[in-house]
Amino acid sequence: MDSAAKDKIQPALLPGSSCPGSEWPEQERAEQLARGAALKWASGIFYRPEQLARLGQYRSREVQRNYFLEARIKSVVQSYLEGVQTGVWQLAQALETVQGTRDILGQARHLLQGLSQTSQTLAPLRECVVQHKQLQVLTQLLPRLQAVPAAVAHTQTLIDAQRFLEAYVSLRELEQLQEETWIPLGGLELPIFQGLGLLAEALGQAVEAAAGAAGQLARENPALLVAAVRVAEVETERTILGHAPRDWRQRCLRALQEGLERAHFASPVLPEPGALAGWLEALQVSLPAEMAAAEALVAPCCPPNYNVVQLWAHTLHSGLRRSVQRLLSGPELGAADTFALLHWALHVYMGKEMMGNLELGPEADVSQLEPLLTSENIEQLEAAFVAQVQGSVAQWLQKALDGEVAEWSREQEPNTDPSGFYHSPMPAIVLQILAENIQVTSLISDSLHRRVRDMALSKLDTFLRSFSDALIQFSRDHLRREAPHYVPYLLAAFNHHSALSSSLSVLLPAGEASGVLAPVEATLDDVQRRICRLVLEALQVELQPLFASLPSRQWLLSSELLDDVCEQTSHFCQDFWRVRKPAVQLLLAEAERTVVLQYLRALMQGRLVCRSADERTQAAERLRHDATQLKELFLGLGLEESAHCAPVLLALRELLNLHDPTLLGLEVAGLRQKFPDVSEDHVSVLLDLRGDVSREHRQAALSSLQAGPPPSPSTGRRALFSLVPTPTPSLSSCLPSGPCS
């Protein structure tokens, strides 16, 4: 672009500016960059001398390019100037329009100020118009409004007369009139309608009261119940004056529940102790009757959505459950009341006689009812029942024991049964007390049955131990002051054992394993052994004086000594036949064993030494005779032959009757085979009794006792010699034996 063109353009671009850089710094910078770029381009092309020949070509090309660029710049600047000119014109037009609008708005403002003053002057007129409209409405409704107080009073009369449908229609007319006046009056409520809320509430309460007496009304006046329910349903489904509806349906349902609970569970007074069973029996009659009435009478008076039968079932159940919980939170129930409550709640209440009645049908929905007693309640009641029964059983057992002990001091023998056996009612009383308490709990639950059974067996075990202790005390008292019939009462106690052991199974239900009886059976066996020991001690006391002179010369020459023993034993055992089998066999066997042990103890005292072969023969014969006499005695008393232990005397006879002392070792070995508990001391005493055994023979005999074959385990004999003490050996037993008087 030449300088002339620049002079034409520059004033237009920068009016009033003499220096372009002062207004357009970017332009100056652009020129500098362009000059730098051109210089760089030229230095890159003409850095060789031979390239200067083409300088003219480059110059002409750049001149053409400059012309083209200048043309484009002129075109852009021209277009820009035209746009600026158009914008300036539009701004001028807008300014004129704004000024015109401002003038018009000023005029409008002036006019509106005048209208505001005019509107204020018309305000009273507007109020008059509103009042005129209200008065016009009131004028039209005036006859009806004048009748409102009388209608309110009439409606109240209808409510009091329980004419619910007519009262509801009248109330609805009044409320509709109130609605008709409320909208035209702009929400203004007239004073004459202020009592409608109370009137509606009175009707609602009357409907609620009728629902609360539904059971009675369904029998006496079902139409009244139907009217009350109908009013509640209609009122619930409508909306008054845009407010939420009065939910009289819920009030009816709540009243039905409360009335039902009030009729059966309203009294806060719980049954007196012992009266719970009667209370439950009354409920057993009244609740099914109430359910039947609900299904037959109340349900037809109510809409299906009331689910009257289900409502009745759940309401009665809830009320009964609260009463039971209140009963359990009070004073502890007695055993009879606890049993009655458990049986009634677990078996009667949900049984066919009550809530499980098939005639109730599925609408009762009794399967959804919570248990009347929770698991904690059942645990609490069962524990309390067991504790109470345990105390009662302990008292009864103690009375039975005290009565039995009192019998022991009587001046007459124990009572007998028709078969002649000693008899006492104590075992039957004890078993009856325990069996009744165990059997009755099977009506409740298996857990309670097991608890009471275990408790009963424990109490029986304690009773047997107390009975055993009482027998010991009886024995001590007998030693201080002889009881008139000491042994017969011990024998009667033997029969108690037989009666108890043979009847223990009554404490267990059919099919139950008898393993639970093992501890009691063991205690019974201990009691039997103790009674047997006391009887044998009494026998031993009577026989001890008779055996004091055995063995002796008198014993060798006469059977009078053993005759007295047999006579005394026979007299002592004369009442054994009053003991039932198999206990009598045990007594006879132990009595025979006691006599034999006394015999052996006397024999082992070493009070006699045979002075000749004739005396040894006499001693052997006496042992044979005594063994035979004892066997005949106890066979006559009824002892089975296999239980006799008198044959030990025959074994001793063989030892005394042996003529060749060199064979003593064999005889001693045979004696040990028959009686493994025989000791060297026993054999030494027997050898001393012979009076002809030398030291060598004694040593040989005693050596054979140790060197012989072990005793046969199949002998099955009870210990005898181990219970017989021997005198302390003297020096003479170590010297060669000789005549000794």
One domain, residues 529 and 557: no
Distance in angstroms (rounded) separating the CA atoms of residues 649 and 280: 76
One domain, residues 296 and 334: yes
Report residue 431 as tokens. 């078993």
Report residue 210 as tokens. 């009728």
Distance in angstroms (rounded) separating the CA atoms of residues 82 and 90: 13
Report residue 23 as tokens. 């207004």
Domain that holds residue 386: 379-536
Over range 126-132, report the average pLDDT: 66
One domain, residues 692 and 567: yes
Longest CA pairwise span in the chain (Å): 192
Over range 219-238, report the average pLDDT: 87
From 439, 424, 553, 550, select the one nearest 489 (Cα to Cα). Answer: 424
One domain, residues 703 and 631: yes
One domain, residues 181 and 216: yes
Distance in angstroms (rounded) separating the CA atoms of residues 473 and 457: 24
Over range 511-539, report the average pLDDT: 85
The amino acid occupying position 30 is A
Is pLDDT at 137 greater than 70 in this prediction? no
Count of the separate structural domains present in the chain: 5
Q: Give per-residue pLDDT as tens, 141-199.
A: 667 777 778 888 888 888 898 898 898 888 888 888 877 776 666 666 678 778 888 88
In a domain, 140, yes or no: no
Q: Give per-residue pLDDT as tens, 546-584.
A: 888 788 888 888 888 888 989 998 898 888 888 888 888
Q: Is 597 exposed, middle or buried (0-12, 13-18, 19+ CB in 10 A)?
A: buried
In a domain, 12, yes or no: no
Quote the pLDDT of residue 395.
92
Q: Is 78 exposed, middle or buried (0-12, 13-18, 19+ CB in 10 A)?
A: exposed
- Cβ-based neighbours of 608, under 8 Å, separated by 6 or more: 551, 552, 553, 555, 556, 619, 689
In a domain, 7, yes or no: no
Q: Is the peptide bond before 300 cis (omega within 30 degrees of 0)?
A: no
Quote the pLDDT of residue 16.
42
Is pLDDT at 589 greater than 60 in this prediction? yes
One domain, residues 711 and 594: yes
Are 258 and 276 contacting, i.e. CB atoms less than 8 angstroms apart? no
Indicate the residue among 504, 519, 536 that finishes a domain. Answer: 536
One domain, residues 98 and 152: no
Quote the pLDDT of residue 362.
62
Is pLDDT at 139 greater than 50 in this prediction? yes
Quote the pLDDT of residue 130.
63
CATH code where residue 393 lies: 1.10.357.50
Distance in angstroms (rounded) separating the CA atoms of residues 54 and 65: 17
From 715, 698, 726, select the one nearest 647 (Cα to Cα). Answer: 715
3-state secondary structure 125-170: HHHHHHHHHHHHHHHHHHHHHHCHHHHHHHHHHHHHCCCHHHHHHH
One domain, residues 207 and 250: yes
Indicate the residue among 229, 262, 295 that finishes a domain. Answer: 262
Q: Is the peptide bond before 727 cis (omega within 30 degrees of 0)?
A: no
Q: Compute the mean pLDDT over every residue in the chain, rounded to the nearest whole number.
A: 81
Quote the pLDDT of residue 351.
78
One domain, residues 112 and 240: no
Q: Kindly compute the dihedral angle of the four CA atoms of residues 698, 702, 708, 710, in this order, to the nearest 10 degrees.
A: 150
From 544, 564, 432, 565, select the one nearest 499 (Cα to Cα). Answer: 432
Give how far the C-alpha of residue 101 lies from the chain's centroid of Cα atoms, to the nearest Å. Answer: 94
Cβ count near 254 (within 10 Å): 13
One domain, residues 92 and 161: no
In a domain, 674, yes or no: yes
Over range 441-466, report the average pLDDT: 89
One domain, residues 245 and 293: no
Distance in angstroms (rounded) separating the CA atoms of residues 242 and 10: 81
One domain, residues 499 and 460: yes
In a domain, 130, yes or no: no
The pTM for the full model equals 0.67
In a domain, 138, yes or no: no
Quote the pLDDT of residue 173.
85
**Owner of token pair 């030449």:** 2
- pLDDT higher for 526 or 13? 526
In a domain, 330, yes or no: yes
Quote the pLDDT of residue 215.
85
Quote the pLDDT of residue 730.
44
Between the two ends of the chain, the Cα-to-Cα distance in Å is 183
Quote the pLDDT of residue 462.
92
Distance in angstroms (rounded) separating the CA atoms of residues 741 and 724: 24
From 338, 343, 326, 346, select the one nearest 386 (Cα to Cα). Answer: 338
Q: Give per-residue pLDDT as tens, 658-670.
A: 888 888 888 888 8
Cβ count near 555 (within 10 Å): 22
Q: Give per-residue pLDDT as tens, 313-363.
A: 888 888 888 888 888 888 888 888 888 889 888 888 887 777 766 566 566
Indicate the residue among 216, 247, 262 that finishes a domain. Answer: 262
In a domain, 125, yes or no: no
Helix axes 664-674, 680-690, angle to 10 degrees: 130
Distance in angstroms (rounded) separating the CA atoms of residues 85 and 494: 146
Quote the pLDDT of residue 3.
42
Report the percent of the chain where pLDDT is more than 90.
5
CATH code where residue 646 lies: 1.10.357.70
Q: Give per-residue pLDDT as tens, 370-421.
A: 888 888 998 999 899 899 999 999 999 999 999 989 888 888 888 888 888 8
Q: What is the DSSP letter of 519?
A: H
